């Protein structure tokens, strides 16, 4: 059984029994053994104008890019439910409504409807499925960059113009949502996060250099800034709305109205990719320490406590890539190594909780755009793609086992998902 909903873990046994009694057939057991599926028989892109089917429960789905299109899979069985042809090097991010996916294309940000969603109805929800489809909703961008979801808002960053578009993703099913726009003083490869109070945190930089972050209130008046973050890149949100940005020599932390610098233990200690969890005060990051390397294959990851400012380095004994970092349902730090194993770490101590064999050992490609194994975590399941075999694996990282494997019709690249 693939477990994608962490909320079920929080129920007591009595509450679970009561819930099953109330929903009758809504609770059922399944075999926990490993299964193998073939993601083969599925229709091509179809319109979601067909009448949707009602489902007994939410239907999680995955979106996987390949060279020439996007596959949509059932996250439980890993079977193929739809395919959309789309040329170019396309990148994926959840839109924030547990139904749609933002696709960064050559022409802008487009919206993919995965065809699975839930609608609240009093004290319960109704669940639906339909054929996946690439919608007509597009957000123009010269160079589509980072997509960030936080506090019920989704923020798109255009590296080509510095434009920051923000919207409520819950209205995507009705068409293009109302958008608020802000433009950074100078265009750069950046990222922005909208806060719960309407404030905005954006990176600072230009076409050649990136130096730090600036914080604006809801009226877009500057209230804080730091330019002590050379090469600022990437973001993550930790518990208590703590926002973290990576630097070539550490991190910047924005928390409770103040910016704090955490310095790496090496003069060049780059943390360019981070994975945060609102269940944890610790941010998982990569860690590179060789400024002269054309392609550094690091073996250490960083775990930074956003309250104390402690930065801990953990040597995995194997390298990893920027698509290797994830967080578990309760903040566990997950890293997919080039040894083929999924490493599950305690974020507070850095201790290895378990190591789960998933793939054969692999080597990071020279070019960052080249497909390599990728990790996506949803609930208690970690999904791992394997371009070498055109397969995808579902891993129960608590039980420490691969539960389902499927063969794909194309070589997988990026992966993301929705809860449906």
CB 70 within 8 A of CB 86: yes
Q: How confident is the model at residue 50 (pLDDT cuts 50, 70, 90)?
A: low
pLDDT at 167 over 80: yes
pLDDT digits (tens, 9 = 90+) for 321-343: 999 999 999 999 999 999 999 99
The ranges assigned to domains in the chain are 6-26+33-418
Using CA atoms, how far residue 277 sits from 42, 76, 382, 397, 409, in Å, is: 34, 23, 15, 16, 33
Name the residue with tokens 């990136």: 210
Task: Give the pLDDT mean for 45-69.
Answer: 83
The pLDDT value recorded for residue 122 is 85
CB 270 within 8 A of CB 288: yes
Mean pLDDT, the chain, rounded, equals 91
pLDDT digits (tens, 9 = 90+) for 235-283: 999 999 999 999 999 999 999 999 999 999 999 999 999 999 999 999 9
pLDDT digits (tens, 9 = 90+) for 338-376: 999 999 999 999 999 999 999 999 999 999 999 999 999
Would you state the structure tokens that stand for residue 252, as one six-digit string? 């910047």
Return left, alpha or beta for 267; rule: phi > 0 is left, psi -120 to 50 is alpha, else beta.
alpha
pLDDT at 11 over 60: no
pLDDT at 26 over 60: no
User: How many angstroms separate the CA atoms of 245 and 234, rounded?
Assistant: 6
Tell me how far apart the terminal alpha carbons of the chain are, to the nearest angstrom: 17
The pLDDT value recorded for residue 41 is 37
User: How many angstroms separate the CA atoms of 281 and 196, rounded?
Assistant: 18
pLDDT at 33 over 50: no
Percentage of the chain surpassing pLDDT 90? 86
**CATH class of the region 6-26+33-418:** mainly beta
Task: State the CB neighbour count (10 A cutoff) for residue 118.
Answer: 18
Which has the higher per-residue pLDDT, 193 or 28?
Answer: 193
DSSP-derived letter for residue 51 is P
Task: Give the pLDDT mean for 120-149.
Answer: 95
Q: How confident is the model at residue 304 (pLDDT cuts 50, 70, 90)?
A: very high
Task: Give the pLDDT mean for 137-148.
Answer: 98
R_g over Cα of the chain: 21
Name the residue with tokens 């005060």: 281
CB half-sphere exposure, 164, CA atoms < 13 A = 26
Task: Give the pLDDT mean for 212-232.
Answer: 98
Q: How confident is the model at residue 123 (pLDDT cuts 50, 70, 90)?
A: confident
The pLDDT value recorded for residue 12 is 31
CB half-sphere exposure, 345, CA atoms < 13 A = 29
pLDDT at 19 over 50: no
The pLDDT value recorded for residue 252 is 99
pLDDT at 230 over 90: yes
CB 194 within 8 A of CB 154: no
CB 364 within 8 A of CB 338: yes
pLDDT digits (tens, 9 = 90+) for 378-395: 999 999 999 999 999 999
Global pTM reads 0.90
Task: State the CB neighbour count (10 A cutoff) for residue 293.
Answer: 10
Q: How confident is the model at residue 42 (pLDDT cuts 50, 70, 90)?
A: very low
The pLDDT value recorded for residue 340 is 98
By the 10 Å C-beta count (0-12 exposed, 13-18 middle, 19+ buried), 254 is classed as buried
Dihedral angle, C-alpha 407, 410, 412, 418, nearest 10 °: -80
Among 257, 98, 105, 225, CA closest to 172: 98
The pLDDT value recorded for residue 5 is 64
pLDDT at 27 over 70: no
Among 274, 278, 324, 339, CA closest to 303: 274
pLDDT at 297 over 90: yes
CB 378 within 8 A of CB 413: no
Percentage of the chain surpassing pLDDT 70? 89
The pLDDT value recorded for residue 20 is 33
Task: Give the pLDDT mean for 173-183.
Answer: 97
Task: Give the pLDDT mean for 211-238.
Answer: 98
Q: How confident is the model at residue 51 (pLDDT cuts 50, 70, 90)?
A: confident
By the 10 Å C-beta count (0-12 exposed, 13-18 middle, 19+ buried), 85 is classed as exposed
Q: Is 63 helix (H, G, I), strand (E, B) or coil?
A: strand
Q: Is 255 helix (H, G, I), strand (E, B) or coil?
A: strand
Task: State the CB neighbour count (10 A cutoff) for residue 302.
Answer: 27
pLDDT at 319 over 60: yes
User: How many angstroms separate the CA atoms of 347 and 341, rounded?
Assistant: 18
Q: Is 242 helix (H, G, I), strand (E, B) or coil?
A: strand
Residues 6+ apart with CB under 8 A from 91: 65, 103, 104, 144, 414
Per residue, the 3-state secondary structure of 285-310, as one string, reads: EECECCCCCCCCCCCEEEEEECCCCC
Q: Is 327 helix (H, G, I), strand (E, B) or coil?
A: strand
User: How many angstroms separate the CA atoms of 139 and 127, rounded?
Assistant: 28
Residues 6+ apart with CB under 8 A from 228: 212, 247, 252, 261
């Amino acid at each position: 059984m693939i477990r994608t909903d962490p909320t079920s873990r929080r129920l007591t046994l009595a509450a679970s029994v009561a819930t099953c009694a109330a929903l009758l057939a809504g609770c059922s057991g399944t075999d926990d053994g490993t299964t193998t599926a073939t993601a083969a028989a599925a229709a091509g892109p179809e319109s979601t104008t067909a009448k949707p089917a009602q489902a007994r429960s939410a239907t999680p789905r995955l979106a996987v890019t390949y060279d020439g299109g996007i596959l949509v899979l059932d996250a439980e069985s890993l079977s193929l439910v739809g395919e959309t042809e789309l040329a170019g090097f396309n990148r994926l991010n959840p839109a924030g409504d547990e139904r749609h996916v933002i696709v960064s294309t050559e022409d802008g940000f487009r919206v993919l409807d995965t065809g699975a969603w839930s609608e609240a109805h009093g004290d319960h929800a109704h669940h639906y499925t339909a054929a996946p489809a690439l919608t007509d909703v597009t957000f123009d961008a010269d160079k589509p960059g980072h997509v960030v979801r936080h506090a019920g808002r989704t923020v798109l960053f255009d590296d080509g113009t510095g434009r920051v578009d923000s919207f409520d993703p819950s209205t995507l099913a009705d068409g293009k949502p109302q958008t608020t726009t802000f433009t950074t003083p100078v265009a750069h490869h950046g990222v922005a996060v909208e806060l719960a109070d309407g404030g905005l945190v954006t990176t600072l930089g230009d076409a050649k250099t990136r130096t730090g972050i600036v914080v604006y209130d809801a009226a877009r008046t500057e209230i804080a800034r730091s330019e002590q973050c050379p090469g600022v890149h990437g973001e993550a949100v930790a518990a208590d709305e703590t926002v973290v940005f990576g630097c070539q020599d550490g991190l910047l932390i924005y928390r409770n109205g103040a910016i704090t610098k955490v310095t790496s233990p090496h003069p060049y200690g780059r943390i360019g990719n981070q994975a945060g969890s609102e269940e944890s005060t610790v941010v998982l990051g990569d860690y590179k320490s060789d400024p002269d390397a054309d392609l550094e294959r690091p073996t250490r990851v960083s775990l930074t406590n956003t309250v104390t400012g402690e930065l801990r380095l953990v040597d995995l004994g194997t390298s990893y890539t920027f698509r290797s970092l994830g967080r578990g349902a309760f903040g566990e730090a997950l890293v997919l190594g080039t040894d083929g194993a999924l490493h599950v770490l305690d974020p507070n101590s850095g201790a290895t909780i378990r190591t789960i064999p998933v793939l054969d050992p692999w080597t990071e490609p020279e070019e960052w755009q080249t497909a390599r194994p990728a990790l996506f975590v949803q609930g208690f399941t970690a999904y791992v793609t394997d371009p070498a075999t055109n397969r995808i694996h579902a891993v129960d990282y608590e039980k420490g086992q691969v539960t389902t494997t499927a063969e794909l019709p194309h070589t997988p690249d990026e992966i993301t998902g929705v809860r449906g």
